[in-house]
Structure 1
């Protein structure tokens, strides 16, 4: 087993180096974005099984069922296969994944006694203890601890902001013309799509927006999105095949932004398979001058951490560009949001919460993001107005104090 860490300015270039040096059979162990003083650096650790019969690095052989033709993009097989979404293509992957998880757990158990929070200043220790209670991963806690230990004046927010990227939803930050939303059933992607359209319209009332519904399997969802689009005075069309996406691409030429509502993945399906099946590239790549289309994954901290990890593996794709976090008003902890951003390197794009369509989505900037994590304060709430989960926690705390004997 060969293990090597690659660094570069962006994920795509690093994946290309991994493919060149280790070949298509490499296994991604970890991905993170860090700051080395000259700017942000993407760091990916990969491994290759050197046992007899395995593919040799650089031989250009394709994995079973995957072509080496010019239609494939650099790193495609690495992104999808090596995150575990195609285990059948790599004999022994499941066993390796279980062994690696076991190794990580043992390493974390060994590191835990070495993390003496008493060595930190109170200003550093209390936030770190809070992050542990919120469910932040042991790897992230150890990473922040090392940074704080080296600088007694450092704030917890410094290493946190380096580890958890954000890219607020706006025309400037996201200049691509085509943006698609995907995610598991019930995550709130249709509502989030309309809210994101409203946010763009508030930024520029003259912006021409086309809504494309690719999730046409359920009549209720189709009617809901059409009704939302009509109420918001947005253009609407449906596309679930290559020919329909070709028609949508022709129609999209006269629009500034195109927002696509993608269906959830079927069991065992991967995002790239879905995009190929419905012909999404026909629309997404129709106008390279305005940028290639990207996909945002819609998730909620209501999902268990193991479930989120499974979703990340299933939805792994080079087109995946960011995460929209939803149903924040229903969540009681937000550690999964930190862990997901740190482990995937995907930036948080928008924060969605509450009922209704207006003023219920905020661009994911660092300040409201960390107020949500540390104070359980929703982006649209006042200084003294935590969300329902926070109010419940505060009420329980007061009840416990009042119940104590004097």
Structure 2
């Protein structure tokens, strides 16, 4: 048996080629759909003739009861059908009988059924193979393109989800703001005096949280004037002051704080006051500021004027030795270097006082009274690990608002020892008093914070640019 392949645009053309070359005795082994047509595999037992002719059926004999088997051309014909149903219709004359009434199939019908079943089974098998090829046998460039498209789709969906999340967060913030505004409007209607007083306290420089705390203790039946006086007294009671503690005690005191707060001048003022009270021999000054140019010379100049001892230490060991040498002094004031609260050297310098090799040193924070509230919070947080005995507020003469430092002192429970309001030594230093500080804050608010005292000059746009 020999096997040959035939190609055609459709099944009809392929079968015609099989009939023309192999004759009607050929057997169709398989068929397959291609991109440009149909492929048939046919088998035959003998060499085909050069030109096949349709054989005439042999005449029946009297003893023959069975018809001869028809040829492939007789079953299919030039315009033969391509499906099993069509072949059966052609074989049975265009009508399909039900199984109950259909006669027993003849030899011709059996032959046609075999050919049709071969064709239908091959077509179904080829369809399955092609479907699997379409899903699993992509060319490499097509597969990479598909992966890229999938990745791009995933990235696009991720971007869309991110945008949706951002929009939802924005909407949530807007809704929260609107709800808070509605609640605030409701509170204004219910307690207009309290809301007005909270606004005055925040304009004076106090934080929102401290203002709300003070208002919560105010009686609701007070009018605006009585409530304002009550709030100022309540604020004064919340401020902790230490009195004249540095000038009445013995030992070592270090002034710490950021740069530019006036630590050196404050040390000189305290030393001059102490010398006036106990004598110049009872006080000494030490500087460990080795970063600022002429820091020791400035303090030495103050020491010559006051008549007290001035020394310089460049390490914790030298500071410990100097404190031991000056142990007979009633008070030793230490001037430290000024750093930003974000500078790590600040903490290293402060840790020199706690190395366990020297006598205890009390530490006082020096801060400018005109510092912003947020900056004050950062400064105090930088000294969180340091035990502060109190604070000194400087440069009150440069302030337009005093509520920020008062709010920080109350919220951080930081005692206030002294305040300074000028450069004169030793005149411009005073013992801190709570009522005086609150009164000064109220006066500054009345002078600079009220609407009728603020400037309403229109700024020209061109000049501002």
Which residue of the partner structure matches residue 288 of structure 2? 214
Q: 1:141 aligns with which of 205, 211, 216?
A: 211
The correspondence of residues 133-212 of structure 1 with structure 2, limited to 5 A, is 133-149=203-219, 152=222, 155-171=230-246, 175=249, 177-205=251-279, 208-212=282-286
3-state DSSP of counterpart to 2:417: strand
- Alignment check: 8 A CA contact 1:134 1:335 kept: yes
Which residue of the partner structure matches residue 322 of structure 2? 248
- Superposed displacement of residue 340, structure 1: 0.9
- Superposed displacement of residue 204, structure 1: 4.0
- Superposed displacement of residue 347, structure 1: 1.1
- Superposed displacement of residue 185, structure 1: 1.2
3-state DSSP of counterpart to 1:156: helix
Which residue of the partner structure matches residue 47 of structure 1? none
In the alignment of these two chains, the number of paired residues is 274
What per-residue deviation string (whole Å, max 9, x for no partner) do you get for residues 323-370 of structure 1? 211111111111211221122111111111122212101111113212
Which residue of the partner structure matches residue 362 of structure 1? 430
- Alignment check: 8 A CA contact 1:212 1:238 kept: yes
- Superposed displacement of residue 120, structure 1: 8.2
Q: Which consecutive residues of structure 1, in runs of 5 or more, have no partner in the other structure?
A: 1-101, 287-291, 378-385, 402-406
Q: Distance in 2 between matches of 1:160 and 1:353?
A: 22
Q: 1:239 aligns with which of 292, 313, 316?
A: 313
What per-residue deviation string (whole Å, max 9, x for no partner) do you get for residues 175-218 of structure 1? 35111111111111111111122333344447711111011222
- Superposed displacement of residue 280, structure 1: 2.3
- Superposed displacement of residue 170, structure 1: 3.3
Distance 1:217 1:147, change over 3 A: same
- Alignment check: 8 A CA contact 2:198 2:212 kept: no
Which residue of the partner structure matches residue 230 of structure 1? 304
What per-residue deviation string (whole Å, max 9, x for no partner) do you get for residues 354-398 of structure 1? 222121011111132122211239xxxxxxxx9xxx5x889x949
Residue 268, structure 1, aligned to residue 343, structure 2: yes
Taking only aligned residues, the RMSD between alpha carbons, in angstroms, comes to 3.7
Which residue of the partner structure matches residue 65 of structure 2? none
Q: Distance in 1 between matches of 2:337 and 2:184?
A: 42
Which residue of the partner structure matches residue 368 of structure 2? 300
3-state DSSP of counterpart to 1:359: coil
Q: Distance in 2 between matches of 1:120 and 1:284?
A: 60
Distance 1:271 1:116, change over 3 A: farther
Q: 1:329 aligns with which of 378, 382, 397?
A: 397
Distance 1:168 1:116, change over 3 A: farther
Q: Which consecutive residues of structure 2, in runs of 5 or more, have no partner in the other structure?
A: 1-172, 458-465
The correspondence of residues 45-64 of structure 1 with structure 2, limited to 5 A, is none
Which residue of the partner structure matches residue 201 of structure 2? 131
Q: Distance in 2 between matches of 1:273 and 1:281?
A: 10
Q: Distance in 2 between matches of 1:351 and 1:146?
A: 30
Distance 1:149 1:400, change over 3 A: same
- Alignment check: 8 A CA contact 2:370 2:398 kept: yes
TM superposition score normalised by structure 2: 0.51
Q: 1:315 aligns with which of 383, 403, 411?
A: 383
Distance 1:134 1:398, change over 3 A: closer
- Superposed displacement of residue 227, structure 1: 0.5
The correspondence of residues 25-64 of structure 1 with structure 2, limited to 5 A, is none
- Alignment check: 8 A CA contact 1:188 1:326 kept: yes
The correspondence of residues 339-350 of structure 1 with structure 2, limited to 5 A, is 339-350=407-418
Which residue of the partner structure matches residue 31 of structure 2? none
The structure whose residues are more often helix, as a share, is 2
- Alignment check: 8 A CA contact 1:211 1:258 kept: yes
Q: 2:420 aligns with which of 346, 352, 355?
A: 352
- Alignment check: 8 A CA contact 1:183 1:297 kept: yes
